[in-house]
Amino acid sequence: MSGRTGEATRYDRRMYALMNRREAASWYATAARRRLFVLGHIALSAASVACWLYAVVGDRDWALLVLLAALLPWCVATGVINTATKGLLELRRHVLDERQRAEKDQVVSRAHRLTTWLLAAATAGAGALAWSGTAELRTLAFPVLFTVLVAHWLMPLWVAGLSARDEPAEDPAEEFAVGY
């Protein structure tokens, strides 16, 4: 790490370059496409959590194969969301400008609030199932906690992907140019 605060290291420069690549810009150019990738990422994450829980708790070997099959599309979706947000959550704070820092703080704060509501709903749901006698709290504890942990980990990425704005045109003068 560098000796001075705020100085970009080789790692910082490499991550910045990686997060600002334009090759796949058409994949996340519109809000609808970004939403599609975020929803796909949520679905792949939910399927992965379910498969992992089936493999660990349910002792189902087939679930590991499904988990492995979901891994590559999950990684691609993660990369698209990270690139759409210009690495807002992946870049270190000293590499971000003031606007990006404020945006990152907003995203993390919004994700924290959503995760709090998710945790409250999961707690109420598990408690209701245990109270009604449908399931034992002991059996629900690990799957519910693991699912909420994964949601807590990924919620900032999802919020950032959903709140990312469309990029302005390359040259604003080109938008208004009249062909003579």
Q: How many CB atoms lie within 10 A of CB 84?
A: 26
The 10s digit of each residue's pLDDT in 46-75 is: 999 999 999 998 888 899 999 999 999 999
Percent of the chain with pLDDT over 90: 62
* 157 contacts: CB under 8 Å, gap ≥ 6: 41, 78, 81, 82, 89
Please tell me the predicted confidence (pLDDT) of residue 24: 80
The 10s digit of each residue's pLDDT in 93-105 is: 988 999 999 999 9
d(CA 99, CA 102): 5
Query: What does the block give as tokens for 81?
Result: 């969301």
Name which of 73, 100, 98, 99 is nearest 19 in CA terms. 100
Q: Is the Cβ–Cβ distance between 98 and 127 less than 8 Å?
A: no
Name which of 72, 74, 106, 78 is nearest 90 in CA terms. 78
Please tell me the predicted confidence (pLDDT) of residue 176: 54
Residue 123: C-alpha distances to residues 29, 137, 147 (Å): 38, 10, 12
